[in-house]
A and B are shown apart, each in its own frame.
Chain A
Amino acid sequence: DGLQSTLGEFFPTE
Chain B
Amino acid sequence: MLEGKFDEASLLKKVIDAMKDSVKLCNFNCTENGISVQAIDDSRVLLISLLIEAGSFEDYRCDRNIVLGLEMESLNKIIKNGNASDMLTLVAEDSPDALNLIFEDKRRDRIAEYSLKLMDIDQDFLKIEDMKFDAVVNMPSAEFAKICRDMKTLSESLQIIITKDSVKFNSEGDFGSGSVVIKSFTDLEKTEESVRITLEKPINLTFGAKYLNDIIKSTPLASQVTIKLCDKQPALFEYQLPSGYLRFYLAPKFED
Given that A7-B44, A7-B251, A10-B234 are known contacts, is A1 also in contact with B125, CB under 8 Å in the complex?
no
Q: Which of B119-172 contact A (CB under 8 A)?
A: 124-128, 155-157, 172
Q: Is B254 an interface residue (CB 8 A)?
A: yes
- Please state if B253 and A10 are interface contacts (CB–CB under 8 Å): no
Interchain CB contact (< 8 A) of B127 among A3, A5, A11: A11
Interface size on B, residues (CB 8 A): 26
Check B249 against A7 for contact (C-beta < 8 Å): yes
The CA-CA distance from A10 to B128 in the complex, in Å, is 9
CB contact list, B2-45 vs A, under 8 A: 40, 43-45
Beyond A1-B155, A1-B172, whether A10 also contacts B251 by CB under 8 A is yes
- What residues of chain A lie closer than 8 Å to B124, measured between beta carbons? 13-14
Contact of B157 among A1, A6, A9 (CB under 8 A): A1
A4 to B233, CA, bound (A): 12
The 0/1 profile, CB within 8 Å of A marked 1, for residues 45-72 of chain B is 1110000000000000000000000000
Interfacial chain A residues near B189, Cβ < 8 Å: none
Looking at chain A's contact residues, is the secondary structure mostly helix, strand, loop, or mixed? loop
> Can you give 8 A-B contacts (C-beta < 8 A)?
A1-B155, A1-B206, A4-B45, A4-B253, A7-B249, A10-B233, A11-B126, A14-B126
Q: Which residues of B contact A (CB under 8 A)?
A: 40, 43-47, 124-128, 155-157, 172, 206, 208, 233-234, 249, 251-256
The number of inter-chain residue pairs (CB within 8 angstroms) is: 61
Q: Cβ of A2: which chain B residues have Cβ within 8 Å of it?
A: 157, 206, 253-256
Q: How far is the CB of B252 from chain A (nearest CB, A)?
A: 6
> Least Cβ distance of B79 to chain A in Å?
27
Query: B252 near A5 (CB under 8 angstroms)?
Result: yes
Contact of A12 among B126, B155, B208 (CB under 8 A): B126
**Apart from A10-B251, A11-B234, 16 more pairs, CB < 8 Å:** A1-B157, A2-B254, A3-B254, A3-B255, A4-B43, A4-B251, A5-B252, A5-B253, A5-B254, A7-B44, A7-B47, A9-B251, A10-B233, A11-B249, A13-B126, A14-B125
Q: How far is the CA of A6 from the CA of B43 in the complex (A)?
A: 8
Collect the chain A residues with CB atoms within 8 Å of residue B127's CB. 11-14
Chain B positions within 8 Å of A13 at CB level: 124-127
**How far is it, in angstroms, between the C-alpha of A1 and the C-alpha of B249 when the chains are bound?**
21
